Amino acid sequence: MRQILSKLHNPLLSWMIFPLACALVVIGAKIWTIAQYGSPTPFWDQWDAEGATLYPKYFDDTLQLSDLIAPHNEHRIFVTRLWSLLLLELGGYWDPILQMVANTLLLGGFVALFVAAFRPILVSVRRVLESY
């Protein structure tokens, strides 16, 4: 146990603890919310953007780059379409719950990066507050 604790005092490793803890809190909260309230039924625009357009062309082998970059309503969702196809392949079928969990993991990664990037600012603010 002391070996583990001594490794945590290593400055190269200790800077990761707070960002990862923040990410795990966000991931845990969202996973709990998905487990309690998530529905395997696609939501609103998923029917049109994925169910009616993307997946049928993908399964028919007629999907082209122009389909991926085509506008959907007032925006283009190229990266979202690629992400949906990747999750379709990984899951084996259209699974909105898998999409929610995968998006949660992405969010957790962004939270960790955000907190790590702004940690120097947070530390300096803390020092200022402690001086009063």
Q: Does the pLDDT at position 115 exceed 60? A: yes
Q: How confident is the model at residue 122 (pLDDT cuts 50, 70, 90)?
A: confident
The pTM for the full model equals: 0.80
Amino acid of residue 94: W
pLDDT in tens, 76-92: 889 999 999 999 999 99
93 membership: H or E segment, kind and range:
none
- pLDDT at position 99, please? 96
